[in-house]
Amino acid sequence: MVSVLKRSLAIITLLIIGYWLAQGLAGVPFGQDRMLVGKYYLENVKAQTGAVNAVTAIVVNYRGFDTLGEVTVLFIASTGVGALLWRRKKRRTAKTEGSVVLRTGSELLFPFILMFGTYIFIHGHLTPGGGFPGGATIATAFLILYMAFVDYEIPHRLFEPLEGLAGMGYVLVGLIGLAIGSYFLFDWIWQTWHWGAANLGRLFSGGFIPIIYTLIGLKVGTELSGIVDSMLTEEVRE
Amino acid sequence: MNCIPCAEYIIVALMIGSAILAVEWRDLLAAAVGMAAVSLFASILFFLLQAPDVAMTEAAIGAALSGAVVIFAIKRTQRFETEEEERPGWWIRW
């Protein structure tokens, strides 16, 4: 009886909140261009950043410091998972091997998924996507290997230094901008040298966006694979 | 009749249905699959709304990785919230 009362109270509260939100949002025009800053970005993005994809240019170039914060949030989340699940000695303890279909399919698909993830983050300034989706795609490739084979583990010796180096590389690119230009994450490749101005819309353009997105892609990929690894390995007692 | 809007309505209805099922199912493994289905439909919806980069992120993180992490957490704890729920759900009992 109490649970029914509680549940109906929750549903009524939800309906009231939903009605209130719908009333508030009904007057907001969806998809219409009302903001001046968006128009400014769309008009100046090619000249100021050299990237064809405006979304990526905003994320990495205009709002680069926010992206550094986003990478830091992911790093803290990964550190938290690692600290909570830390054991002195960890190993895979899975017992059932994946089926024949899963094993063969994962062996077949693994290089292609890796290649697609790399493609997503290298071409971030040209096509939709960027470091975060590319890194997540790479992590799913390792997740498939973890599910298919009972004794597979990621190469820890390669991944953990790579994660740290990629994070430091991002800050380093920003600091070089601070040294050359006037502010942190100044786009020195595009603004001072105009490198890649001749082939706008091809791979070698877009200032430091491909460099930063490659670093972010490596960092996100290694970090998310590390989270999967620490969730799947368990303590072994001698 | 232009049918892209009605496809969007169908996908929103599927999202709401999967979300209700993810909350209602007592079997946590099934609930995790329902949660991943919400993300999958959301990623299709993002693609139809012309945001392919958000769609890719949603498909990779929402459907694959977060679902996998929740399933690993279930594997490390328990599959049902309480002991007496460890029998087939209503969709099997019926």
Tally Cβ neighbours within 10 Å of residue B56. 23
Residue in chain B closest to A121 (alpha carbons) equals: B53
Q: How confident is the model at residue A194 (pLDDT cuts 50, 70, 90)?
A: confident
Q: How confident is the model at residue B90 (pLDDT cuts 50, 70, 90)?
A: low
Longest Cα–Cα distance of chain B, Å, equals 52
Orientation of helix A100-122 relative to helix A209-232, angle to 10°: 150
Residue showing tokens 């992490």 = B69
Residue in chain B closest to A220 (alpha carbons) equals: B61
pTM of the model: 0.82
| Number of CB pairs, chain A paired with chain B, less than 8 A apart | 42
SS3 B55: helix
pLDDT, tens only, A214-230: 999 999 999 999 988 88
pLDDT, tens only, B52-88: 888 988 988 888 888 988 988 888 888 887 766 555 5
Residues in CB range of A69: below 8 A, 6 or more apart: none
The percentage of chain B sitting over the pLDDT mark of 70, rounded to a whole number, equals: 85
Kindly report the nearest CA distance between residue B60 and chain A, in angstroms.
Answer: 6
Whether residue B53 and residue A143 make contact (CB cut-off 8 A), yes or no, is no
Residue in chain B closest to A134 (alpha carbons) equals: B57
User: Which spans in chain A are helix H?
Assistant: 2-26, 36-49, 54-56, 64-84, 100-122, 131-148, 156-180, 188-191, 209-232
pLDDT, tens only, A8-38: 898 999 999 999 999 988 887 766 666 788 8
SS3 B27: strand
Whether residue A132 and residue B57 make contact (CB cut-off 8 A), yes or no, is yes
Q: Provide the residue type at B9 as one letter.
A: Y
**Which of A136, A143, A232 is opposite residue B57, by nearest beta carbon?**
A136
Asked whether B55 and B44 are in contact (CB, 8 A), the reply is: yes
- Predicted pLDDT of residue A217: 93
d(CA B25, CA B32): 9
Report the pLDDT averaged over residues A114-123: 92
SS3 B64: helix
Whether residue A130 and residue B53 make contact (CB cut-off 8 A), yes or no, is yes
The percentage of chain B sitting over the pLDDT mark of 90, rounded to a whole number, equals: 28
Per the prediction, chain A carries an average pLDDT of 87
d(CA A18, CA A5): 20
- Predicted pLDDT of residue B24: 85
**pLDDT value at B92 more than 60:** no
pLDDT, tens only, A129-185: 888 899 999 999 999 999 898 888 888 899 989 999 999 999 999 999 888 888 888
- Going from N- to C-terminal start, the domains of chain B cover 26-77
